[in-house]
Amino acid sequence: MAADPKSADGGKNIDHMMKQLGLTEEDLDDVIFEEEPAQSVEATRWLAIARVCTDGEYSSYWFFKNMRTAWDLAQDVKTRTLEPNLHTFQFACLGDWERMTEGGPWSFRGNPVVIVPWDGFRKPSSIELFHIDIWIQIHDLPVGYAPMLKSLASKVGEFITAEGASNDLDGNFYRVRVKLDVRKPLKIVVSMVRANKHELFLVKYERLTNWCQVCGHLGHEYKDHRDGIHPPQALVFKDLRAGWSIRPGGQPGRGRGTGRGTGRVSFQGRGRGDHRSDNVNITVERDLDGIEKTHDEVMDDFDLNRKRGALQKGAGGLPLQPRGNVATMVDSFAGLFTTEIDEPDPQVLEKVIPKVTDPMNEQLMRPYNADDVKKALYSIGDLKAPGGDGLHAVFFKKCWDFLGTSLTKEVLDAINDKIIPDGWNDTVIVLILKVESPEKISQYRPISLCNVLYKNTSDPLSENVDEDFVA
């Protein structure tokens, strides 16, 4: 005997829908679903559904692209947009699935991304996408209160797991993973009553996305709250982003790579080095005094300074940030340096008055030769900051006798064919401090370091625009 369809979960919703549509039982002509196990498992395996916590519009293309990069996928993922701000992902292997489900919280342009497993049978519109899994830290909690950790963490969000005391982690806090409701303001403290006295314990959030220091909600900053002008005392939700320190070989939670490092930070898309967390390559070079040290020595100094509450600066003048902050910075600048290209408006183009005359165009389109390439190369400073390949212009100059012919051919082919080879236009984004002690991403000024080959290709083009043409 078939089960009553209304007896399943969601029966009330079905009754409501039928009432709205004016349907009765007689109007329904049911199709009986007979499950084929092998086919169903394959079609619905490693499925997830997601939305971005934002009211603004965004490009699905760049959302999918940024998430693929953030997850550092080993295999391709199938993506689909069901409706504005509702997307599905189907992963191809267990490793990629676990990195997505066990990592995070994930964000897109500073906004939280809510992504949950999907069985493939529930209606996408019926799935509540309001919770993210996040590690929190409960600070200054006495060891005698450790048995109360689950109860305390449950005041922040639904308890998932707690990390026990470890020699790999230094800090006066306990780490707990919770399911956080993005519709509610963040908790600043958790409290306990003992012997009729209240005790308060500060709460910090690891890898925290953009949040408002006025209202405590995720997805926007205090300058976007109302008119953006608030007195300092109104910023009650400040300093909620957590930091931590790890000894060599350890890391908080689970993930790939050590997640450790000091020195120059290089944002290079999908880094495939020893440090694979957050798509950032981090290189240890020297300590603050310029003294070369082993990796362990530098890490010990870093841990010591962290205990003192100091903020170190790496060799490139960049403040060392916890990995969670680095992830936020990568996500922020990835959004800044990606472009959403729409089709030009024909009505606007009709009103554009041409300024380039035929003689000017002929000058711009004149053929380039080997002398142009060599002149452009030798105009580049010998030790100008290199791009991702690390090669300075002086290398090509010194090796011109046996590299010149092939280099000239490659550059001229790129100019004449109007196709830049893969890797030539890869840039390293370096962050320059605007203030002595930055607290916000906006207090960094990004500059792009281009490869010498790209400079050698673009310089002849710019040289062709002489002073008479500009005038």
Q: Per residue in 36-80, pLDDT tens?
A: 555 557 788 999 999 999 888 888 888 998 899 889 899 999 999
Query: With contact defined as beta carbons under 8 Å apart, do 149 and 189 qualify?
Result: no
Confidence class for position 451, pLDDT limits 50, 70, 90: confident
Query: With contact defined as beta carbons under 8 Å apart, do 156 and 187 qualify?
Result: yes
Residue 151's alpha-carbon distances to 74, 144, 188, 346, in angstroms, are 38, 14, 16, 61
Question: Which strand ranges, in their side-by-side order, compose the sheet holding 47-52?
Answer: 78-83, 86-90, 47-52, 111-117, 106-108
d(CA 449, CA 68): 24
Average pLDDT over residues 334-356: 73
Q: What is the DSSP letter of 31?
A: P
Q: Per residue in 292-319, pLDDT tens?
A: 444 444 444 444 444 333 333 333 334 4
Average pLDDT over residues 3-24: 64
**pLDDT for residue 255 is more than 60:** no
- Domains, the chain, with CATH or none: 39-126 (3.30.70.330), 130-244 (no CATH), 348-432+445-470 (no CATH)
Q: What is the pLDDT of residue 267?
A: 37
Query: With contact defined as beta carbons under 8 Å apart, do 318 and 431 qualify?
Result: yes
**pLDDT for residue 179 is more than 50:** yes
How many other C-beta atoms lie within 10 A of the C-beta of residue 37? 7
Question: With pLDDT > 70 as the criterion, what percentage of the chain qualifies?
Answer: 71
Q: What is the pLDDT of residue 244?
A: 60
- Beta strands 264-267 and 280-283 are antiparallel
Dihedral (Cα; 452, 453, 454, 459), 10-degree rounding: 80
Q: What is the pLDDT of residue 233?
A: 92
Highest mean pLDDT among 66-70, 173-177, 207-211, 426-430: 173-177
Provide the token pair at 384.
């100008």
Report which secondary-structure segment, H or E, holds 305. Answer: helix 295-307
d(CA 352, CA 210): 39
pTM for the predicted model, two decimal places: 0.51
Q: For the chain, how many residues are written? A: 471
d(CA 297, CA 317): 20
